[in-house]
Structure 1
Amino acid sequence: MSATENEAQGASRPTGVGASGGAGGPASSHEDAEMLAALGYEQRFDRKVSLWANFALGFVYLSPLVGVVSLFALGLSTAGGPSVFWIGIVGLGQFLVALVFGEVVSQFPLAGGLYQWVRRLWNGRYAWFTAWTYICCITIGITSTALFSSDFVASLFGGTADEPGIASTPTQRLVIAVAMTAVCLVCNCFGTRTLAIISKIGLAAELIGIVLVGFYLLAFERHNSLSIFFEASSATHQGSYIGAFIAASLVGLFLFYGFEACGEVAEEVPNPARSIPRAMQLTVVVGGLSAVFAFVGYALAAPDLGAILAGEDSNPIPAILQSSVGTVGTKLVLLVILTSFIAGVMSQQAAASRIVFSFARDDMFPGSRVFSKISRRHLVPMNALLAVNVAPLLIFVFVYFSPDSLVKIAAFQMLAGYAAFMMVVLAALRMRLKGWRPAGAWTLGRWGATVNVAALAYGILGMVLLAAPTGGDGTPFVDRWIALIGFLIVSAVGLVYLLTAKPERKSTAPEGDAMEVATLLRNRAAQISATTGGKDA
């Protein structure tokens, strides 16, 4: 179906009850359903994710608290206190990416986020490969978040005053990860309202864990000087300090992703063209500031900073809390951290299931008829939700037999995520060069092209840093290049399937119609303005 034919069909579809899926269909405003119909789809989800719930979803996916407690020791042992500056560097770069995403999602507020954006900016084949890369990224995200939670769960239920920080055994890690995934899956099955509520609880937990605890540590438990953030230190990274500082970029690069999840649930958000860009920007800004606050607070309060800098303490957060707030306070903060892990896994499951659903809805996914179904009671893509948790369960078993593989798996995850992000940014820039001017409710105006180029430059730099070899000269070749090797293998598998199965030929969904849709939206806005005398333009 051509873009023009689809727009004509969409524009002529009935709105109101019919566009919302029938008298008993999901609740949606007339305008949102009409906009969705103009883009070629019917309203099937329940629009109960408010601006703040959408922000909370992205925030708990990004999860600065989880990111900091997971990467704190790695950053300090690699490059010392100055590693905290990577949070600001990467945060600025990802904010540029969020601005580009905001313009695209404002014009195409569709479930499936990245997949739908690049499909409308380029074509179905390019969209398939982007979605394949991104689905692999989120699948690993579910896996790594659940596995990283194991040490904190072990400390919560097994730590003592003498040994507050406990490293989980391979068996404990497997059991905790499976239990975490199962609990989050069950919660997600109860629909959008439950997802929104738990996202808000996760947001509150994150802010409590960062703001209240961080303020207390900074005000009453400072054992170290601010000068530590300006003193070069490299205990676990051989070579020059510049190399160590670049290696510490993982502190920021691993932290700032997840804001795109705000767009994955676009068909469950009222007035998504305006609210989702704001939610994305809030996620990056608030998440970045929170991460810096938490990192600084823990570093200044560390009673044995030397052990962390030397790489001798790989799980220092419980010990820092124990020395600062005591056993009861430590347990409470670990409970807050656990809540953040649960909310984070839930948001990743939700994002992954929506992109699989959107993929299948366009007949671009094996078993499309199965994975494009929406449950009648809770209006969630149940089959897609179940599917996105299969691979994490298999990886849990793999990590059980190879405990040292977790960091290597996470390294591939971030490189795949950045690659998918840059596919969107590149597609947007390509379409701009062809004359596209974003016509959503939120745009950058004349600054759009400049921001687009800057975001692409940043993303390429980020990919280079993530693909760079790790470890010293004595590290095996595969281990040094594991992120790039994993990415190339996954890309090769995706390309082989794409070129042999040619899934894009089966789909009749619109593609490459960004300029046509922009013209349609401007014409509709002009008609509304003429009818209302400019009051509602």
Structure 2
Amino acid sequence: MADVEARPPGAEPARQDGGPPPQRMARELGWYASFSVAFGFVSIATGIFTTYGAVLSTSGPRGIWAWPISVVGQLSIALVFGALAARIPISGYSYQWVSRIVGPVWGWIMGWVSFAFLGVVLVAVDYTIASTILPELFQYVGTTQNAWVITAVVVLLQAVLVAASTRFTHRVNSTAVTVQLIGMIALTVLLFVVGALTGKLDFGHLFEAGPVPESGYYALGGATEAGPFALAFLLGAFTIVGFESAANLAEETKNPARVIPRAMVQAVISLGVLGLLFLIAITAAAGRVDGVGASDTPVATVITAVLGSVVGKILLVLVVISIFSCGLVITLSGTRLVYAMSRDERFPGWQLLRRIHPRTATPLNASVFMMLIAQIILAVFSQSTDALFELFSAGTLLPALIYAGTVAMYAAKRRSLPPSRGFTLGRWEIPVLVVAAVWLLYELLIFRDASFRAPWIYVLVLFAIGAVYFAGLLLRSGRAGLTMPDLADVDRSLDTADTAIPRPKAAEGDAR
């Protein structure tokens, strides 16, 4: 590819150690773009359409009440991430934070886990379009073969957009997020109104266990199984992830230390409220629709039954746009993580993957690489009849590991962190950390259930591949091979970009 190492306009001069000058991406994103990234990655349309069927079968309709608890748990994590983003606003989020605060070895491990997560969740999101929505929209029988082909095409299209232009990608995403907001609000309101007028709402259904036995419903479960209600938490745990993707674009955001924390928190709160209302509407309506429990696409089935074929299909098109936007943001975030690790010479093939294309001003090679990884993961999972469940399970387990590691690091190092550049937890820091720790411990314990064997295998295989590369780094260069050569230069560029913005004094208890 026609990439160059020449300095783009406005870049810093060459490093003092004689290495190539650090390349820069344009700082052009505002609050709504940052909010759109966080909102678009989370995408309640994606998460609910993907996992609702599994919740009905394992927890029954009553399982939706795990959602508000999940929102509180994920919000506490978003607040911790906001506090970190305000101190170290740089692409790579947890990878960069852990590398700089704990050490490069632990940072590399966090980066590799994040990469594994972004690869599998991209496939999970795009597979949702092919397996749960398009068959209902166009009335055809979904198979593993046609789902594979459609997902592969969607992944390719998203990679092309991300590689072609960051600005255009954000315009597409911002438009799609606006469509998602309007579409999900309209869908929720119509379900309530039309359902009430036609007598298709059964609010008693919201508290039924459905096919799940009442006995032991709220039990924690045994050594290798989680209780029915515990499994319902996967609905929120899978859906409300990715809000930290806004922090992964810090080097392209104006005033990132103030904008990004606010965007993440506002995205989680707005998605939590809207998601709960939608779940109540769809579940109340499901009580009066035949065949929902046996449907492969229960949400789409309810929408079509209540709103009619024409209106239902229009709204399903809006959902497709929302899910495509979610995959687009994941591709963008994964590309930036690969670029950030490659810029630090800590990723396989970093010599190519750290390059910024001179015409598009995007990490083109990293975009192509992320697309190829997603295609490989798709090929591995696509022949399974439970591919969607396995994908969303892996896409829930991995971020839980990332969040747990990052929160633990923050708790251990909070008094030695750099001063805040725009956001602080203040007196709420300890309560937030306690809520986050309890929530993450409970969430991780759910994955002891035997049904999550395939996700654990995926995690272990990716860990093994990462361990081989990690060992090669140590054998070739020792711990020096894991250093971060551009650390000072990147920090100085952030300081320079923020000189026009007065920084608030660190709050009481902040490290100086």
Which of the five TM-score ranges fits, normalised by the shorter chain?
0.7 to 0.9
What TM-score, normalized to structure 2? 0.85
Q: CA deviation at 1:372?
A: 0.6
The answer as to 2:470 corresponding to 1:498 is yes
Match of 1:55 in 2: 35
The answer as to 2:202 corresponding to 1:225 is yes
Q: 1:234 to 1:527 in 2, by over 3 A?
A: closer
The answer as to 2:275 corresponding to 1:294 is no
Alignment of 1:8-407 (within 5 A): 24-25=9-10, 44-152=24-132, 154-155=134-135, 158-159=138-139, 166-222=140-196, 223-235=200-212, 240-242=216-218, 243-302=227-286, 304-305=288-289, 307-308=291-292, 311-407=293-389
Determine what percentage of the aligned residue pairs are the same residue.
24
Distance 1:528 1:205 in 2: 35
Q: For structure 1, which runs of at least 5 residues remain unmatched after alignment?
A: 1-20, 27-32, 34-40, 160-165, 472-479, 531-537
Q: CA deviation at 1:363?
A: 0.9
Q: 1:167 to 1:445 in 2, by over 3 A?
A: farther
Q: 1:449 to 1:436 in 2, by over 3 A?
A: farther
Q: 1:402 to 1:271 in 2, by over 3 A?
A: same
Distance 2:444 2:279 in 1: 24
Match of 2:484 in 1: 509
Q: 1:131 to 1:54 in 2, by over 3 A?
A: same
Distance 2:257 2:501 in 1: 17
Distance 1:263 1:526 in 2: 19
Match of 2:398 in 1: 416
Distance 2:487 2:412 in 1: 11
Cα deviation digits, residues 400-427 of structure 1 (max 9, x gap): 4333333223312321111112111111
Q: CA deviation at 1:348?
A: 0.4
Q: 1:501 to 1:217 in 2, by over 3 A?
A: same
Is 1:76–1:83's contact at 8 Å kept on the other side of the alignment? yes
Is 1:136–1:413's contact at 8 Å kept on the other side of the alignment? no
Q: 1:227 to 1:157 in 2, by over 3 A?
A: closer
SS of equivalent residue, structure 2 residue 436: helix
What TM-score, normalized to structure 1? 0.81
Task: Identify the range of structure 1 (112-121 vs 134-143) with the bigger mean alpha-carbon deviation.
Answer: 112-121
Paired residue type of 2:204: S
Cα deviation digits, residues 19-65 of structure 1 (max 9, x gap): xx66x348xxxxxx9xxxxxxx9571112221111111111110001
Q: CA deviation at 1:239?
A: 6.8
Q: CA deviation at 1:180?
A: 0.7
Cα deviation digits, residues 199-236 of structure 1 (max 9, x gap): 1122122112210111011122142332222233344x
Is 1:156–1:335's contact at 8 Å kept on the other side of the alignment? no
Q: CA deviation at 1:490?
A: 3.0
Distance 2:389 2:80 in 1: 30
Is 1:259–1:284's contact at 8 Å kept on the other side of the alignment? yes
Is 2:421–2:504's contact at 8 Å kept on the other side of the alignment? no
Q: 1:69 to 1:506 in 2, by over 3 A?
A: same
Is 1:80–1:228's contact at 8 Å kept on the other side of the alignment? no
Q: What's the C-alpha RMSD, in Å, of the aligned pairs?
A: 3.1
Q: CA deviation at 1:111?
A: 1.1
Q: 1:156 to 1:183 in 2, by over 3 A?
A: farther
Is 2:50–2:128's contact at 8 Å kept on the other side of the alignment? yes
Task: Identify the range of structure 1 (126-135 vs 371-380) with the bigger mean alpha-carbon deviation.
Answer: 371-380
Paired residue type of 1:363: E
Q: 1:526 to 1:78 in 2, by over 3 A?
A: closer
Q: CA deviation at 1:507?
A: 4.3
Match of 2:454 in 1: 482
Q: 1:220 to 1:330 in 2, by over 3 A?
A: closer
Q: For structure 2, which runs of at least 5 residues remain unmatched after alignment?
A: 1-6, 13-20, 219-226, 506-512
Is 2:76–2:436's contact at 8 Å kept on the other side of the alignment? yes
Is 1:234–1:241's contact at 8 Å kept on the other side of the alignment? no
SS of equivalent residue, structure 1 residue 248: helix
Distance 1:402 1:167 in 2: 16
Distance 1:153 1:184 in 2: 18
Q: 1:527 to 1:293 in 2, by over 3 A?
A: closer
Q: CA deviation at 1:285?
A: 0.6
Distance 1:446 1:437 in 2: 18
SS of equivalent residue, structure 1 residue 249: helix
Q: 1:92 to 1:367 in 2, by over 3 A?
A: same
Q: CA deviation at 1:369?
A: 1.5
Distance 2:310 2:87 in 1: 49
Is 2:120–2:391's contact at 8 Å kept on the other side of the alignment? yes
SS of equivalent residue, structure 1 residue 221: helix
Is 2:473–2:481's contact at 8 Å kept on the other side of the alignment? no
Q: CA deviation at 1:246?
A: 1.2
Paired residue type of 1:139: G
Is 1:233–1:241's contact at 8 Å kept on the other side of the alignment? no
SS of equivalent residue, structure 1 residue 96: helix
Match of 1:36 in 2: none
Is 1:266–1:276's contact at 8 Å kept on the other side of the alignment? yes
Q: CA deviation at 1:356?
A: 0.6
Match of 2:436 in 1: 455
Distance 2:485 2:437 in 1: 26
Task: Identify the range of structure 1 (192-201 vs 354-363) with the bigger mean alpha-carbon deviation.
Answer: 192-201
Cα deviation digits, residues 274-321 of structure 1 (max 9, x gap): 00000110111111112112211212223645643xx32231233322
Q: 1:325 to 1:25 in 2, by over 3 A?
A: farther
Distance 2:284 2:472 in 1: 56
Distance 1:528 1:469 in 2: 47
SS of equivalent residue, structure 1 residue 401: coil
SS of equivalent residue, structure 1 residue 403: coil
Paired residue type of 1:123: G
Q: 1:307 to 1:240 in 2, by over 3 A?
A: farther
Is 1:62–1:255's contact at 8 Å kept on the other side of the alignment? yes
Paired residue type of 2:188: G
Question: How many residues are matched?
Answer: 475
